[in-house]
Structure 1
Amino acid sequence: MSAQISCASLFLSLLPMLFLACDSAEDKSAADLAIPVVVEKVKRGPIASYVSATGTLRAQREERVVAEVDGVLRMARNNGTALVAGAKVQAGQALAEIENQEYLLNVRVESQKLAMENATRELQKQEALFKEGGVTEKELELARRNALDSRLNYETAQLKADKLRLKAPISGFIANLQATAEGTRVPVGFRLCSIMDYGTTLAQVNLPNTDLEHMQIGQEVVVSSYAISDQTFRGRVTAIDPTIDPQTRTFTVTIEVANDKLLLRPGMFVKADIVIENHSNAVVIPKTALQTRDNRPVAFVVEGASAALREVSTGIETREEVEILEGLAEGERLVVKGHETLRDKSKVRVTE
C-alpha cells in the first residue's frame, strides 16, 4: 500500500515538468516556423533623377604654338633644364627660338630703330623752328608724319623679329611637345606644342531629342571617369544646342567640370549624369526592399513579431534606391532581406 502511495506521489511531482517540456517544445516549434528576416529603419535622405550620357573631356583653353618663320629650332631652357611635356608654363614664357639670320637681316630692326630716333630728333628741331617762325606749318606736319612713320616701321620690325621667338600664348601645361625637332630646320607652320589650361574641363554630350524639355542652363551634373573609379566630380550645363541632328535625332549639351586638383585630363572618356530632379529630404529605401504584388508596389515592415504588408506610392528611382511618397514612415522597421515569401501577418524572426 505504501509503495502505491509513493508511485502516485512521484507521478504528481513529475507532472509539472512534463507540461513545461511540452510548452518548451511548442515554443521552439513556433520559433522554427517564424521566417527569418533582416530589417533596417526607414530613413530620409537625398535622391535625384538623372539623364545620363557619355563624352570626351577637353581643356577649357588650348592654344597651339606654331612657327611663323622657317629656320633652325633651338629649345629654351628653364634654369638650365630643357622643357618637357607636362611642364607648367606662364603666358609669355619663352619656349624656343628659331635661327634665321637672313630673315633677321631683312627685318632690319636696328636700322628702323636708328631711323625712328633720327626722325624724332628732326621733329623736335622742326617744332623749335616753328615757334620762331623758321619753318612753315606744312614743313612741321611733314616732320610729324615722318616721325610717326618711322616709329610704326620700327614697331613692325620688332613684331617681325619677335616671330623668331616662340612663346606660350596662355598659362597652362605643355602638351604634344615635338622635342625631337631640336636642332633641325623647321618649316613655316611647324607645330611645336600645345598649351592646355585644364583647371576647368569641358565635355560635349549628345542626348536624344526627347530629353530637350528637361535641359536647362546651370543644371548640376555629376561626372565620373572609368579611369578614376573612386571619385565623382561636379559640373554644370553651360550650353544647349537648339538644333537637332536630322540623322541621329540628338542635340548637343556642353558641360563645364571643375578640375581644381587636375585629376581629370583632356581626352578622358567620362559619364555625365545630368540632374533633372532633386529631392533633398525624401523617404528613401533600398530598391531591393520593394516588391510587386498584384501589379502593385509593396514593402513589408515588422510590427511586433509579424510582418505587415504596405502598399506604397513611389517617386524618383535610381539604380539602388527608390523614393517612397506614401505608405511608409520614417523610423519604421523595413524588411530588406527575407521578404520573398512573406505574406501579410506572417510570423517573422529578426536575425540582424
Structure 2
Amino acid sequence: MKTKYILMAAAVILIGIVAYQLATNKKEINSKKDKVTAVALSIPVKVATATEQQLEVNINKTGTLAPFKEVKVMSVTGGNIQSLRFGLGDKVGKGQVLAVTDDRLLRLELQKNESAAAKLKNDLATYTELLNGKAATQEKVNQVRQDYLDAKNLSDQARKNLADAVIRAPTSGTISIKSVEEGLYVPAGTEIATIIDLSQTKVLVNLTESEVYKVSKGQKVKITTDVYPDKAFQGTVSFISPQADKTNNYAVELMVANASNAVLRSGTFVYADFSKRTTQKILVIPREALTEGVKNASVYVVSGNTAKLIQIQTGSEMGNLIQVISGISAGEVVVTSGQINLKEGSKVSISK
C-alpha cells in the first residue's frame, strides 16, 4: 500500500516536470516566432536625401534662320525699264539707284506745269499792283492767287513723279530676287526685286508654358549648326510673345550676328541652347521617389525606421531630379525604391 502511494507521488512529480518543460518550450517558441514576425515586417528600401542645389535651366530648341530684313522693291510709277542697274546676288546700299523707268512724258508734264505756274505767278504780281492802284478787285486777285497755288501743287507733283521714275534701294543688303529685265514695261506697284539684309539673322522658336517663364529678353543663347559643327554663334532673345498660340506655345525671336568668316544663310537649320545656371537655390529629390505623377505628388519620408507618406508640391524637372516647392525640407530622407510595398507607418530597413 505504501509502495502504491510512492508510485503515485512519483507520477505526479513527473507529470509536473513534463508540464513545466512544455510550458518553457512554448514560451521560447513564441518568443522566436515574434522575433521572426518582427523581422518580416521590416521592409527593405533604398533612400536618398533631399538636397539644395543651384537651379539649372536646360532648354534646347531647333529653328531656321531668316534674314534680319527682307524688303520688296516696288516701282512707284508705270513705264518701260529704261535702265536696270543690278543683278542677282549684288550687294547694294540704301538709296542706291537700282532702275530708271522711261521719264520723257513725266519731264514734259513737269515743264508744262512749271510754265503755267510761272505765268500765274507773274499775273498775281500784276493784279496785286493793280489792286494797290485800285485798278483791280480783291476778288480777282484772290482768284489769280488760288490758280497760282493750284499750278504750283501740280508742278510739285510732277516733280515727285519724275523723281519716282528713279527706283532706289530702300535698305542695304543683297539682291535675292530679280523680277524684271531692262526694256520691260512695268505698271505702278510692280515688284522689281527683293533685298535681304544678312548682317544679322533671326531665329524663331516656340517655347512651352513652363519654358517661356525661364527665358528673358536680352538673354544670351548659344546657336550651333550642322554646317559649322565646330563653331558656336551667340544669339540674343529680342522678342517673347505675350500670348500663346492655339497649341499653347509662345513664339520667341532670337537675333544672331553674322560672322564674316562663317556666313550664315537664310533657311539654315540651327539649334538654340537656352541652358543656364542661375543663382537661385532649389530643393530637389530624385524623380523616382514620387509615388504618383507630378500632379498628385507624394513621397515616403523615413523617420527612424518608420515610413510616413507626405504630400508635396513639385516644380521644374532637371534630368532625373525634380524640384520640391513645399512638403518636405532639406536633409529629410525619402524612399526611392520599394515604395510599392509600403503604407503609412510601415517599418523599414535601409538597403545599401
Q: CA deviation at 1:211?
A: 0.9
**8 Å contact 2:63–2:205 — kept in the other structure?**
yes
Does the C-alpha gap of structure 1 residues 136 and 96 become closer, same or farther in structure 2, counting only changes over 3 Å?
same
Does the C-alpha gap of structure 1 residues 49 and 149 become closer, same or farther in structure 2, counting only changes over 3 Å?
same
- How many residues matched? 235
Give, in whole Å, the separation in 1 of the partners of 2:168 and 2:220. 37
**8 Å contact 1:107–1:157 — kept in the other structure?**
no
Q: Does the alignment pair 1:93 with 2:62? A: no
Paired residues for 1:177-188 under 5 Å: 177-178=178-179, 181-188=181-188
Does the C-alpha gap of structure 1 residues 119 and 91 become closer, same or farther in structure 2, counting only changes over 3 Å?
farther
Partner of 2:212: 212
Does the C-alpha gap of structure 1 residues 200 and 116 become closer, same or farther in structure 2, counting only changes over 3 Å?
farther
Q: CA deviation at 1:203?
A: 1.9
**8 Å contact 2:84–2:182 — kept in the other structure?**
no
Deviation by residue 1:209-231 (Cα, 9 ceiling, x = unmatched): 22121122211122223223332
Deviation by residue 1:139-171 (Cα, 9 ceiling, x = unmatched): 443333223221211121223334433221122
Deviation by residue 1:17-53 (Cα, 9 ceiling, x = unmatched): xxxxxxxxxxxxxxxxxxxxxxxxxxxxxx9744222
Partner of 1:249: 248
Q: What is the letter of the counterpart of residue 179 of structure 2?
A: Q
Partner of 1:148: 149
Q: What is the letter of the counterpart of residue 143 of structure 2?
A: L
Secondary structure of 2:212's counterpart equals: helix
Paired residues for 1:57-96 under 5 Å: 57-77=65-85, 83-96=86-99
Give, in whole Å, the separation in 1 of the partners of 2:172 and 2:133. 55
Deviation by residue 1:179-222 (Cα, 9 ceiling, x = unmatched): 6x233344554422112222222221111222121122211122
**8 Å contact 1:215–1:276 — kept in the other structure?**
no
* Structure 1 residue ranges (4+ consecutive) displaced by more than 6 angstroms after TM superposition: none
Q: CA deviation at 1:114?
A: 1.3
Partner of 1:305: none
Does the C-alpha gap of structure 1 residues 148 and 277 become closer, same or farther in structure 2, counting only changes over 3 Å?
farther
Does the C-alpha gap of structure 1 residues 245 and 126 become closer, same or farther in structure 2, counting only changes over 3 Å?
same
Secondary structure of 1:182's counterpart equals: coil
Q: Does the alignment pair 1:263 with 2:271? A: no
Q: CA deviation at 1:253?
A: 0.6
Give, in whole Å, the separation in 2 of the partners of 1:257 and 1:167. 28
Deviation by residue 1:103-151 (Cα, 9 ceiling, x = unmatched): x269812111212222333334444455555545444433332232212
Q: What is the letter of the counterpart of residue 250 of structure 1?
A: N
Does the C-alpha gap of structure 1 residues 267 and 144 become closer, same or farther in structure 2, counting only changes over 3 Å?
farther
Give, in whole Å, the separation in 1 of the partners of 2:94 and 2:112. 30
Partner of 2:196: 196
Give, in whole Å, the separation in 2 of the partners of 1:90 and 1:132. 58
Over the aligned positions, Cα root-mean-square deviation in angstroms equals: 3.8
Paired residues for 1:259-298 under 5 Å: 259=258, 261=260, 263-278=263-278
Does the C-alpha gap of structure 1 residues 130 and 60 become closer, same or farther in structure 2, counting only changes over 3 Å?
farther
Deviation by residue 1:273-301 (Cα, 9 ceiling, x = unmatched): 2245357xxxxxxxxxxxx9xx9xxxxxx
Give, in whole Å, the separation in 2 of the partners of 1:229 and 1:54. 15
Question: Percent identity, aligned pairs only?
Answer: 28
Give, in whole Å, the separation in 2 of the partners of 1:176 and 1:147. 45
Give, in whole Å, the separation in 1 of the partners of 2:120 and 2:275. 67
Q: Under a length normalisation based on structure 2, what TM-score does the superposition of the two structures give?
A: 0.56
Give, in whole Å, the separation in 2 of the partners of 1:128 and 1:233. 74
Paired residues for 1:313-324 under 5 Å: none
Deviates more, 1:202-211 or 1:268-277: 268-277
Q: CA deviation at 1:68?
A: 4.2
Give, in whole Å, the separation in 2 of the partners of 1:253 and 1:115. 58
Give, in whole Å, the separation in 2 of the partners of 1:59 and 1:226. 19
Q: Under a length normalisation based on structure 1, what TM-score does the superposition of the two structures give?
A: 0.56
Give, in whole Å, the separation in 2 of the partners of 1:111 and 1:105. 10
Structure 1: runs of 5+ lacking an equivalent: 1-46, 78-82, 280-291, 296-315, 319-352
Structure index of larger Rg: 2
Secondary structure of 1:198's counterpart equals: strand
Q: Does the alignment pair 1:164 with 2:165? A: yes
Does the C-alpha gap of structure 1 residues 240 and 116 become closer, same or farther in structure 2, counting only changes over 3 Å?
same
Q: CA deviation at 1:232?
A: 2.1
Deviation by residue 1:56-81 (Cα, 9 ceiling, x = unmatched): 2222222211234454334434xxxx
Does the C-alpha gap of structure 1 residues 188 and 105 become closer, same or farther in structure 2, counting only changes over 3 Å?
closer
